[in-house]
Chains A and B, each alone.
Chain A
Amino acid sequence: MNSIVIVREIWDTRDLVGDVVGGDGELKGNLLTRFEPEDLNALEMALQIKDQQGGKVTVISIHPSRDVDVLREALYRDVDEAIRLDDPQFAALDTLGMAHLFSSAIQKVGDYQLVLTGISIPEGENAFLGNQIATLLGLPHASYVDALEGIDETGVTCKRGIEGGYETVRLPLPAVLVVGVALLKDDPRTPRTAKARLKLKHRKTAIPTWGSADLDASHLTPVTTLVKRDTVPQREIESQSIDPEDEAALKAMLNEWRSLR
């Protein structure tokens, strides 16, 4: 059972205080990046299939790494092959353009039963990459997949999140699965961490790069372009602290509330 997983590097906004996007629409601060957590879930699913049934896991990413090289991180988790799509012409792609490129790369890798990717909420609120890849490849797909219930030559059964619960669906192979949001910490499906031995082994492993000459480059002009970006100003809350023992102050506060109503 061979899988191809699309993995992405996204801004790590977890420790930031205050506005992340400046008035000019540029990202502010000393922003670092992290492995898209849903992509990590998708990778874990592929690795579990490999652990149980054997086969190959290939990961594909796009653009040079900013600080967390998700492809190398995937090698540290024992994938068999990592491929980077990189070319100056790939700089300003929209989601559809990316889906075309990834589809072309997936076809070039060939011999696969599953394509997996995360739903990617944090960057651009854009959950369509996986679905568009499925459409372009003419494959069945399921999104918001939380768990695999079973997989064999005839198809894959997976549990997907729906409003208020789950539904279990079955798809023929090959199929595209778009994996849901990050799992709880103690979930048995929690993504594995990198292994020290694999870090030593792969710290210098060369990662092949495929450019426009290697892929179908006929959809590199973005259909959707960014016109502008606005930030929603954060609401200023002025807090006051009042000594609970101080009756006069409490009364004054109540009066102030009344006058506001």
Chain B
Amino acid sequence: MSDDERVQVDVIVVGGGPAGLSAAYVLAREGLDVIVIERGETAGSKNVSGLLYGTVLNEMMPGFYERAPIERSIAKRSIGFLGDGVQASICFGTDEWSDPPYNNTFMVYRSQFDKWFAGEVEEADAALLEGMVVDGLIYEGEDEQRKAVGVNIRDDEDFYADVIILADGANALVTSEVFEQLNMRRGKEPQSYALGVKEIIGLPREKIEDRFGLENNEGMAMDLIGSPFEGLVGAGFIYTAKESLAIGFAAKVESIAKCGRTPNEIIDGFKQHPQVRRLIQGGELLEYSAHLIPEGGYRAVPELIGNGVMVVGDAAGLVNMSLYHEGSNLAMASGKLAGEVAAEAKQKGDFSKRTLAAYPEKLEGTFVMQDLKKYQGVPEILDHIPGVFAEYPARACRLLVDYFRVSERSKAVIQKEALKNFLRGLPKIQFGRDLLRARKLM
């Protein structure tokens, strides 16, 4: 490149999160000329998430967990129910989860993890331009022939590429404009969003290991539903890091607006629940962050390709919002596949929509689309059983507590009364229907 020639490369990736970095990694390893443009001062600097699922990354970089900045590998998980003054939880795990590959579940801080990942991508010879914002794409041609040929970088010059991979995350301002420009199909349903809010609370390592029953670098992931999330379509989490805890919740944006509490008040209420308070007690608030999560699922997934563009990760709404709430793995799987298809397109010298169609076709055969399809009813179910996050869990806790109440009354009486309390004020038919629906979340 001479000083006045225009910059033209094989692929430009917009966004340096897990999706964009995976695409860039694959492309760079295939020897393509690739540039990643990331808005953050460093990759991951403003990104938020809970757990990182590592199956796809482990395929790309076997044993990555030996080198990556991982806080703890998750050896124990629990699902907890919080009621007013009552609680219940199931905690599970196996010794296997303490050994590589650690059930592919890791607690990471994205500011460190993404930065490390970005470093590996640079090492593989992709160019990473951090602290630069893509304002939009550059197009050529009309109608069917119209294609994306480059990007506008804010306060800077335009760069050109044969393919542009859109990995700009949940907010996806760039992607959304491309849909208009290239006349790409939106999802069957409009995308909907959850707001994820997270605090990092510093605690000494020994305290964390004592409180959560952990050894060495083992970690614990707790998912919690119940009374702190009254009126919300959402749930909370607590994940252990080395010397801190990540605590937070994710809830449908509309439900937050409707519930009459601010995200701050919700997280404060969560932290004040007696069961939660004793876990975080004595800790010091280190950081607060919030981020959107697309949660419309399969039915909101748009067309993933256009002439000269592919959409990956959260920008494409590839998040599994069932009980598993996986986003990172789907982001990396889609990024990797898009990268592979772009490399093939380069070989053929054809970047039309027809060639790029191999990306959505192949994605259909992976866990990404299969899981999204399986759980396509989830958003609707959640909207229709408002009780699932607060009322039912609270009742279930109460049932257990009542069931195990020790007294001199006969067990038969105690059990009958427990059940009666559980069912009190509960419309039976609706409960039956909700139960059937809720099955689909598993």
The answer to whether A and B interact is yes
Interface, chain A (partner B; CB < 8 A)? 15-19, 28-30, 32, 34, 67-68, 193-197, 199-201, 203
Establish whether residues A29 and B202, one from each chain, have CB atoms under 8 Å apart when the complex forms. yes
Within 8 Å of chain A (Cβ to Cβ): is B42? Answer: yes
Shortest Cβ distance from A15 into B: residue: B287
Across the interface, which residues of B come within 8 angstroms of A67, CB to CB?
42, 115
Within 8 Å of chain A (Cβ to Cβ): is B35? Answer: yes
Question: With A and B bound together, what is the CA distance between A34 and B132 in angstroms?
Answer: 16
Establish whether residues B156 and A196, one from each chain, have CB atoms under 8 Å apart when the complex forms. yes
Across the interface, which residues of A come within 8 angstroms of B37, CB to CB?
196
**CB-contact partner of A32 in B45, B128, B131, under 8 A:** B45
Shortest beta-carbon contacts, A-B, top 8: A196-B156, A18-B284, A199-B129, A29-B286, A196-B153, A17-B285, A200-B127, A196-B129
Given contacts A32-B111, A67-B115, whether A196 and B159 have CB atoms under 8 Å apart is yes
Establish whether residues A17 and B288, one from each chain, have CB atoms under 8 Å apart when the complex forms. yes
Across the interface, which residues of A come within 8 angstroms of B173, CB to CB?
none
Establish whether residues A196 and B157, one from each chain, have CB atoms under 8 Å apart when the complex forms. yes
**CB-contact partner of A193 in B7, B35, B155, B157, under 8 A:** B155
Establish whether residues A28 and B202, one from each chain, have CB atoms under 8 Å apart when the complex forms. yes
Across the interface, which residues of B come within 8 angstroms of A199, CB to CB?
127, 129, 132
Establish whether residues A196 and B284, one from each chain, have CB atoms under 8 Å apart when the complex forms. no
Within 8 Å of chain A (Cβ to Cβ): is B249? Answer: no
CB proximity of A203 to chain B, nearest CB, Å: 6
Question: With A and B bound together, what is the CA distance between A32 and B45 in angstroms?
Answer: 9
CB proximity of A127 to chain B, nearest CB, Å: 26
Establish whether residues B287 and A17, one from each chain, have CB atoms under 8 Å apart when the complex forms. yes
Across the interface, which residues of A come within 8 angstroms of B109, CB to CB?
30
**What interface size band does chain B fall in?**
20 to 34
Question: With A and B bound together, what is the CA distance between A29 and B109 in angstroms?
Answer: 12
Across the interface, which residues of B come within 8 angstroms of A68, CB to CB?
41-42
Establish whether residues A16 and B286, one from each chain, have CB atoms under 8 Å apart when the complex forms. yes
Looking at B35, B112, B156, the one whose CB has the most chain A CB atoms below 10 A away is B156
CB proximity of A132 to chain B, nearest CB, Å: 31
Question: With A and B bound together, what is the CA distance between A18 and B202 in angstroms?
Answer: 10
**CB-contact partner of B42 in A17, A18, A32, A195, under 8 A:** A32
Establish whether residues B284 and A19, one from each chain, have CB atoms under 8 Å apart when the complex forms. yes
Establish whether residues A18 and B7, one from each chain, have CB atoms under 8 Å apart when the complex forms. no
Establish whether residues B131 and A194, one from each chain, have CB atoms under 8 Å apart when the complex forms. yes
Contact with A along B78-117 (1 / 0, CB 8 A): 0000000000000000000000000000000101100100
Question: With A and B bound together, what is the CA distance between A207 and B127 in angstroms?
Answer: 18
CB proximity of B34 to chain A, nearest CB, Å: 11
- Count A/B pairs, Cβ under 8 Å: 61
Question: With A and B bound together, what is the CA distance between A16 and B132 in angstroms?
Answer: 23
Establish whether residues A17 and B35, one from each chain, have CB atoms under 8 Å apart when the complex forms. no
Additional pairs, 12, CB under 8 Å, beyond known A28-B286, A32-B42 = A17-B285, A17-B288, A18-B202, A19-B284, A29-B286, A30-B286, A68-B42, A196-B7, A196-B156, A196-B157, A197-B1, A203-B128
Across the interface, which residues of B come within 8 angstroms of A19, CB to CB?
284
Contact with A along B1-29 (1 / 0, CB 8 A): 10100010000000000000000000000
**CB-contact partner of B1 in A29, A32, A200, under 8 A:** A200
CB proximity of B52 to chain A, nearest CB, Å: 16
Establish whether residues A203 and B127, one from each chain, have CB atoms under 8 Å apart when the complex forms. yes
Interface, chain B (partner A; CB < 8 A)? 1, 3, 7, 35, 37, 41-42, 45, 109, 111-112, 115, 122, 127-129, 131-132, 153, 155-157, 159, 202, 284-288
Establish whether residues A30 and B127, one from each chain, have CB atoms under 8 Å apart when the complex forms. no
Across the interface, which residues of B come within 8 angstroms of A32, CB to CB?
42, 45, 111
CB proximity of A42 to chain B, nearest CB, Å: 20
CB proximity of B156 to chain A, nearest CB, Å: 5
Given contacts A30-B112, A32-B111, A194-B131, whether A201 and B1 have CB atoms under 8 Å apart is yes
CB proximity of B407 to chain A, nearest CB, Å: 40
Across the interface, which residues of A come within 8 angstroms of B129, CB to CB?
196, 199-200
**CB-contact partner of B131 in A193, A197, A200, under 8 A:** A193
Establish whether residues A30 and B132, one from each chain, have CB atoms under 8 Å apart when the complex forms. no
Shortest Cβ distance from B153 into A: residue: A196
CB proximity of A51 to chain B, nearest CB, Å: 16
Establish whether residues A195 and B156, one from each chain, have CB atoms under 8 Å apart when the complex forms. yes
Shortest Cβ distance from A201 into B: residue: B1
25 CB contacts below 8 A, A to B, read A16-B286, A16-B287, A17-B287, A18-B202, A18-B284, A28-B286, A29-B202, A30-B112, A32-B111, A34-B41, A193-B131, A193-B155, A195-B156, A195-B157, A196-B7, A196-B129, A196-B156, A196-B159, A197-B7, A197-B156, A197-B157, A199-B129, A199-B132, A200-B35, A200-B127
Across the interface, which residues of A come within 8 angstroms of B285, CB to CB?
17-18
Across the interface, which residues of A come within 8 angstroms of B202, CB to CB?
18, 28-29
Establish whether residues B42 and A200, one from each chain, have CB atoms under 8 Å apart when the complex forms. no
Across the interface, which residues of A come within 8 angstroms of B122, CB to CB?
203
CB proximity of B363 to chain A, nearest CB, Å: 30
Question: With A and B bound together, what is the CA distance between A15 and B129 in angstroms?
Answer: 22
CB proximity of A196 to chain B, nearest CB, Å: 5
CB proximity of B28 to chain A, nearest CB, Å: 13
Question: With A and B bound together, what is the CA distance between A29 and B122 in angstroms?
Answer: 26
Question: With A and B bound together, what is the CA distance between A194 and B155 in angstroms?
Answer: 10
Looking at A30, A194, A201, the one whose CB has the most chain B CB atoms below 10 A away is A30
Question: With A and B bound together, what is the CA distance between A19 and B122 in angstroms?
Answer: 34
CB proximity of B152 to chain A, nearest CB, Å: 11
CB proximity of B263 to chain A, nearest CB, Å: 16
Across the interface, which residues of A come within 8 angstroms of B45, CB to CB?
32
Across the interface, which residues of B come within 8 angstroms of A17, CB to CB?
285-288
Question: With A and B bound together, what is the CA distance between A34 and B42 in angstroms?
Answer: 10
Shortest Cβ distance from B109 into A: residue: A30
Question: With A and B bound together, what is the CA distance between A2 and B429 in angstroms?
Answer: 84
Question: With A and B bound together, what is the CA distance between A19 and B112 in angstroms?
Answer: 21
Question: With A and B bound together, what is the CA distance between A62 and B340 in angstroms?
Answer: 42
